[in-house]
């Protein structure tokens, strides 16, 4: 397909363009008085979903906590709106009692703005995206998604656009990160989930996971889970470029009993391979973009203490969270229902030590690229695992039920909003 054959050339062209234009971009930022790179501090944002807070921690080293943000400063106003709208109230309660496991979902995903002055947060229970001023903690702008729940986001490589899944309306909105204005949207499969921008910023990949809150979890009932697919769109026009139905690719690889609900995913550095998790599976798959086929399957160990009753696995997950070391040599996998995380050699697919962690919900790379950082939603902490040894180095306490962890930046000297 054209998208696959041209991907490597697009990435190379984008890299060359950045090399040529970088000095002009730096000069432009200085001329307009924007925050310079020297005035910014790289950090990790940890979204505490049930708390309604985000902890900001060091991006490497000891991962010490720097500050905390209230991501629902407008909670009373939002709750008044929900209580006045019977339909929204029904959805709000359904989110609490299903995907929220009895809790409200106040922060799913977050990204800081390029100048480090604001953080943009998707709030599932409030069905919105907000920009919060990091100096004051106040709301800069709010965008109400279509339907009744917001979910995973992705930010463009230039940091100017943010894509957010509206899970009950089967749509992705793309917003201007500075103003919250909608730049466009596109249709997806059922229950859009993960979003990924291509490295050159020209395409958005969305993975829809279908109905994950039903008890129809037996393999032979997989067809009841809805329309699950990867939708690839042009990131400027938002027109569909292609649709990848993993059911066909799984069947062709002899994996007919595997779910085709693509969960978290990570591209190789050259974007020739996509590594992704699927519902109910303890492991991940390798997909070759150019040949359009699944090339390898990695099954990871099962925890003997994990229930074999699939209806007890949260939102159809078995493993949820995968990231790649920047040089492409290692993967890090969060074994959510199996209570471990592990580093996997990308060449051999051999796993390292199984690091005991409690219900890990996400995996990301530290700022220095040396560690995998997983959120332990069952222990209210984040844990760093050394890519070189596969061993745990440190755990840091955070708020209630940490999920997404994202690299970002704040202004140098920032330690939290004023008055917090």
pLDDT digits (tens, 9 = 90+) for 334-391: 999 999 999 999 999 999 999 999 999 999 999 999 999 999 999 999 999 999 999 9
Rounded to whole angstroms, the Cα distance separating 108 from 77 reads: 20
Q: In this structure, are residues 179 and 199 in contact, taking their beta carbons and an 8 Å threshold? A: no
Task: Give the helix ranges, DSSP H, for 236-365.
Answer: 246-252
Alpha carbons within 13 angstroms on the beta-carbon side of residue 141 total: 12
Three-state secondary structure call for residue 209 = coil
For the chain, report the end-to-end CA distance as a whole number of angstroms. 52
Rounded to whole angstroms, the Cα distance separating 83 from 92 reads: 9
Rounded to whole angstroms, the Cα distance separating 1 from 376 reads: 40
Query: What pLDDT, on the 0 to 100 scale, is given for residue 35?
Result: 54
Residue 214 binned pLDDT confidence (cut-offs 50, 70, 90) = confident
pLDDT digits (tens, 9 = 90+) for 16-61: 333 333 333 333 333 444 556 679 999 999 999 999 999 999 999 9
Three-state secondary structure call for residue 59 = coil
The model's pTM is 0.90
- Cα dist. 12→3, 19, 152, 237, 331 in Å? 14, 11, 28, 22, 23
Query: What pLDDT, on the 0 to 100 scale, is given for residue 100?
Result: 87
Rounded to whole angstroms, the Cα distance separating 45 from 398 reads: 11
Length of the chain: 420
Tell me the average pLDDT across 157-168. 97
Q: Which residues, 6 or more positions from 93, have their beta carbon under 8 angstroms from its beta carbon? A: none
Residue 75 binned pLDDT confidence (cut-offs 50, 70, 90) = very high
Q: Which residues, 6 or more positions from 369, have their beta carbon under 8 angstroms from its beta carbon? A: 325, 326, 327, 387
- Cα dist. 64→45, 56, 111, 162, 415 in Å? 12, 9, 19, 28, 12
| Least-confidence region, from 30-39, 114-123, 208-217, 408-417 | 30-39
Q: Which of 368, 357, 270, 290 is nearest to 319 (CA)?
A: 357
Q: Is the dihedral of CA 179, 185, 189, 191 positive or negative?
A: positive
Q: Which residues, 6 or more positions from 274, have their beta carbon under 8 angstroms from its beta carbon? A: 265, 266, 267, 268, 286, 287, 289
Cβ atoms < 10 Å from Cβ of 407: 16
DSSP 79-128: HHHHHT-HHHHHHHHHHHHTTTTTS----SEEEE-TTSSEEEEEEGGGTE
Q: Which of 306, 302, 275 is nearest to 289 (CA)?
A: 275
Rounded to whole angstroms, the Cα distance separating 268 from 64 reads: 29
Burial letters 386-402, b for 16+ CB under 10 A, else e: bbeebebbbebebbebb
Q: Which residues, 6 or more positions from 128, have their beta carbon under 8 angstroms from its beta carbon? A: 78, 122, 142, 143, 144, 145, 150
Write down the mean pLDDT value for the chain: 91
Alpha carbons within 13 angstroms on the beta-carbon side of residue 176 total: 8
Q: Which residues, 6 or more positions from 217, have their beta carbon under 8 angstroms from its beta carbon? A: 280, 310, 311, 313, 316
Query: Residue 149: in which H helix or E strand, if any?
Result: none
Q: In this structure, are residues 116 and 41 in contact, taking their beta carbons and an 8 Å threshold? A: yes
Three-state secondary structure call for residue 385 = strand
pLDDT digits (tens, 9 = 90+) for 389-413: 999 999 999 999 999 999 999 999 9
Alpha carbons within 13 angstroms on the beta-carbon side of residue 179 total: 4
Residue with tokens 């940490």: 402
Task: Give the helix ranges, DSSP H, for 86-190.
Answer: 86-97
Residue 174 binned pLDDT confidence (cut-offs 50, 70, 90) = very high
Rounded to whole angstroms, the Cα distance separating 223 from 103 reads: 29
Residue 417 has pLDDT above 60, yes or no: yes
**In angstroms, how far apart are the furthest CA atoms of the chain?**
62
Q: In this structure, are residues 99 and 142 in contact, taking their beta carbons and an 8 Å threshold? A: no
Asked: is 2-9+35-408 a CATH 3.90.650.10 domain? The reply is no
Residue 111 has pLDDT above 60, yes or no: yes
Tell me the average pLDDT across 121-132. 98
């Amino acid at each position: 397909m054209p998208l696959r054959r041209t991907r490597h050339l697009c990435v190379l062209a984008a890299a060359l363009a950045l090399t040529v234009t970088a000095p002009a971009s730096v000069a432009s930022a200085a001329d307009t008085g924007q925050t310079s790179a020297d005035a910014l501090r790289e950090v990790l944002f940890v979204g505490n979903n049930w708390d309604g807070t985000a902890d900001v921690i060091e991006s490497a080293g000891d991962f010490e906590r720097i500050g905390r943000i209230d991501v629902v400063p407008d909670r009373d106003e939002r709750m008044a709106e929900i209580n006045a709208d019977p339909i929204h109230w029904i959805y709000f309660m359904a989110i609490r009692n299903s995907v929220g496991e009895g809790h409200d979902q106040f922060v799913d995903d977050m990204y800081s703005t390029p100048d480090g002055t604001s953080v943009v947060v998707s709030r599932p229970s409030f069905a919105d995206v907000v920009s919060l001023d990091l100096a004051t903690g106040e709301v800069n702008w709010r965008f109400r998604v279509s339907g009744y729940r917001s979910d995973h986001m992705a930010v463009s490589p230039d940091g100017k656009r943010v894509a957010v899944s509206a899970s009950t309306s089967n749509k992705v909105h793309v917003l201007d990160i500075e103003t919250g204005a909608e730049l466009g949207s596109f249709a997806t499969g059922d229950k859009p989930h993960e979003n990924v921008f291509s490295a050159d910023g020209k395409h958005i990949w969305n993975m829809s996971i279908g109905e994950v809150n039903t008890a129809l979890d037996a393999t032979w009932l997989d067809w009841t889970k809805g329309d699950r697919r990867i939708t690839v769109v042009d990131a400027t026009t938002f027109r569909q470029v292609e649709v990848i139905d993993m059911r066909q690719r799984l069947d062709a690889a002899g994996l007919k009993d595997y779910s085709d609900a693509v969960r978290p995913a990570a591209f190789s550095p050259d974007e020739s391979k996509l590594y992704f998790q699927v519902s109910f599976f303890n492991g991940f798959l390798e997909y070759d973009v150019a040949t359009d086929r699944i090339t390898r399957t990695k099954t990871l160990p099962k925890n003997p203490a994990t229930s074999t009753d699939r209806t007890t696995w949260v939102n159809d997950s078995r493993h949820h969270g995968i990231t790649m070391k920047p040089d492409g040599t290692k993967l890090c996998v969060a074994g959510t229902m199996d209570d471990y995380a592990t580093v996997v050699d990308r060449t051999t697919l051999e796993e390292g030590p199984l690091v005991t962690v409690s219900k890990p919900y996400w995996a990301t790379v530290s700022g220095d690229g040396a560690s995998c950082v997983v959120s332990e939603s069952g222990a209210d902490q984040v844990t760093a695992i050394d890519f070189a040894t596969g061993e745990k180095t440190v755990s840091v306490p955070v708020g209630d039920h940490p999920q997404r962890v994202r690299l970002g930046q704040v202004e140098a000297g920032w330690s939290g909003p004023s008055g917090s």
